[in-house]
Amino acid sequence: MKKIFSIAAALFLYASSAFSQKVPYHVVFDITNNEPAIQQRMIVLVKEIISASPDAKVEVVFYGNSIAVIDKNKSAVSDDISKLAANKQVQFRACAIAMKKHDLDESGLVSGVQTVPDGIYEIVKKQAAGYGYIKIVQ
């Protein structure tokens, strides 16, 4: 009886591991605020994720008042953003609508930041593609 139970348990463990799939580590961060603590938290979170998982994909979407974070003349974290943007796992996106409201054009963006037509829609698309959504707050 013990032998049958041991074989059944081993088969169950084998089957469950054979059918389990690795969940992708894809995250989209929503940042709407330009507070220094929020900026630092965003940098720390992105670094932790890409350090923890070489397969992770991270996108940070800036809209609203957070546009100042990616304005090369105002950003306190521009060097960090540029370095992280060079990593293929990380993408920084600026909402074109918010940029227009803040009188910022693409030439004023921190190096490595790309634009999207609508920041909220970008987040929705990423969620539909299976990305986990995280709102960065204090």
Distance of alpha carbon 100 from the chain centroid: 23
Rounded-to-integer distance, Cα 117 and Cα 21, Å: 34
Predicted pLDDT of residue 2: 59
Each residue of 56-84: pLDDT tens digit? 999 999 999 999 999 999 999 999 999 99
pLDDT band, very low/low/confident/very high, at 11 (cuts 50, 70, 90): very low
In a domain, 3, yes or no: no
Residue 12 lies in a domain: no
In a domain, 108, yes or no: yes
Which range marks the domain in which residue 98 is found? 22-135
- With respect to residue 91, please indicate whether it lies within any of the assigned structural domains: yes
Across the range 82-87, mean pLDDT stands at 97
Residue 88 in domain: yes
User: Given this model, what pLDDT does residue 14 score?
Assistant: 53
In a domain, 29, yes or no: yes
Residue 14 within a domain:
no
Count the domains in the chain.
Answer: 1
Domain-embedded: residue 10: no
Band of pLDDT at residue 22, cut at 50, 70 and 90:
confident
End-to-end CA distance of the chain: 57
pTM to 2 decimal places:
0.83
Rounded CA-CA distance 32/63 in Å is: 5
> Can you give the CATH number for the domain in which 120 is found?
3.40.1260.10
